[in-house]
Amino acid sequence: MSSTRQKLIQLLQENDTKYISGQYLSDKLNISRTAIWKHMNELKKDGYVIEGKANRGYRIISYPNKVSENTVRWNLQTEWLGKHVVHYESVPSTQPVAHKLAQNGASHGTVVIANEQTEARGRMDRPWYANTDKGMWLSIVIRPTIPPYIAPQLTLLTATVLAEVLADEVGVQAQIKWPNDLLINGKKVAGILTEMQAEQDQIQYVIIGIGLNVNQTREDFVDEVAHRATSLFVETNKEWDLVPLIQRILETFEAKYTEYIADGFHQVKKTWEDYGFKLHETIEIKTGKERWKGVFLGVAEDGALLAKRICDQVVKKVYSAEIAWFD
């Protein structure tokens, strides 16, 4: 959103009980009254209900819940995350868009968000069904000053952010299934896809993609995933306003990320293990031709899964595997 439009919304919000004249807005923003009128029309397209009366001026009647650049940025309480928002009504996936922006110099904290994704994907290129405006589909561009080998920590950090926001704002207890899924009552409600561009010892940028099922009904899920997917609506029987939920996630991410960069992984690891799915339980792991059972102990500093093999009590690090999480 342009800084002018941000200031315009703020002036209207500060005077929402009375009309504010076009001339006053023109003077305050140092733009013409014609430009004010054009900005008002753009805000109306986003769902702001603005009343204009001759000789009296303008006032905001109501604010939209529609996801857009304007609505996400308006009243977002962050210092650097989401100061640049790129919004699409529909896009195949926000991830490649974010990659292209990052390659062209997009700033740390740029957010790409869409009302729907038609070709969304998760890890291992698995499809993620995001062709609905009832969920949160976004990608964040960050440029962390950490060595590339610990970048998987960012996936674990993001998972803790989602789990904490869902607990605090929605009142649901999610669990984190290593490495990148959030479950409610054993069904997937969110997924995270972290991708990196780096040299041997330096990260150029990281793209963190987040998909969160919010207002889907059971009927919205295709048959292929209906038995293992859920949404906040399904779990709470309540529709959720997308914009404030997105803003809380971005605000929490910025705070937790800043703390992580300053203090390291220790608190992230502790929080992740508080939410860890099947922690201290026996799981079956298949890596290559080897299949074994072990007790899930937690996560390592580099983001790997730690499990104690039952047959010989050896603690193993697992970076990629087929895991039988469900009996």
pLDDT at 1 over 50: no
Selecting from 3.90.1150.10, 3.30.70.2740, 3.40.718.10, 3.30.930.10, what CATH number does the domain 69-275 have? Answer: 3.30.930.10
d(CA 306, CA 296): 6
Over residues 258-274, the mean pLDDT reads: 96
Helix (H, G, I), strand (E, B) or coil at 201: coil
35: buried, middle or exposed (CB in 10 Å: 19+, 13-18, 0-12)?
middle
Question: Measuring CA to CA, how many Å separate 136 from each of 5, 197, 253?
Answer: 24, 24, 15
Per-residue model confidence as pLDDT tens digits over 271-309: 999 999 999 999 999 988 899 999 999 999 889 999 999
d(CA 102, CA 319): 27
Contact 161, 208 (CB under 8 A): no
Per-residue model confidence as pLDDT tens digits over 198-225: 988 899 999 999 999 999 999 988 877 8
Q: What is the CA radius of gyration of the chain?
A: 22
Over residues 132-150, the mean pLDDT reads: 94
Q: How confident is the model at residue 92 (pLDDT cuts 50, 70, 90)?
A: very high
Residue 219 has which token pair? Answer: 């009927």
Domain 282-324 of CATH type 3.40.50.300:
no
Contact 287, 320 (CB under 8 A): yes
CATH of domain 3-62: 1.10.10.10
